Amino acid sequence: MPTSNDMQKVLDIQDKNLLFEEDCVSYALFKNHYCKFIYCTLSYMPTACKHCGEPNQNYSIYKNGSQTSSVTFPTTGVTPTYLNVKKQRFKCKNCQRTFTASTPIVQENCFISNFIKAAVLVNASEARSVKNIALETHVSATTVQRL
Ligand SMILES: [Zn+2]
């Protein structure tokens, strides 16, 4: 059975806080396409609060539910791929505010992985049409233009 570590290698993910469990890959129809969904969990103990900067001491920051986001990922094999990340949410006892675990794989409040952004930029430097790049990287033409 592949381990979480193997999955990270297959997907070129260096963030060790992203954990993959057994049977984390499934196929489903999405936007009329047969797509691959890869499920993983993002969790760690934050060292400080993202809002007030208070260091995490004596459990001053505690786990507070989770939030799942679906991120467009580069095609693996021949199937459009989405990474479903279940992100840990935290609450700070000092400022009473909540925040979500973050990962370098994707910017906060963005649903397109940084890998896709990099692929769009590489393709764009080869002077290819916006429509072609959009088709190949599975994002909209508007996103290609914006990047
Ligand atoms: Zn705080």
Q: What letter represents residue 83's amino acid? A: L
Average pLDDT rounded to a whole number, residues 91-116: 83
Q: How far away, in angstroms, is 64 Cα from ligand 1 center? A: 13
Q: How far away, in angstroms, is 75 Cα from ligand 1 center? A: 38
Going through 4-145 in order, the beta strands assigned E by DSSP cover 18-19, 25-30, 33-42, 61-76, 79-92, 98-100
pLDDT band at 40 (very low <50, low <70, confident <90, very high): very high
101 against 12, higher pLDDT: 101
Q: How far away, in angstroms, is 41 Cα from ligand 1 center? A: 23
pLDDT band at 127 (very low <50, low <70, confident <90, very high): low
Q: How far away, in angstroms, is 96 Cα from ligand 1 center? A: 6
pLDDT band at 92 (very low <50, low <70, confident <90, very high): very high
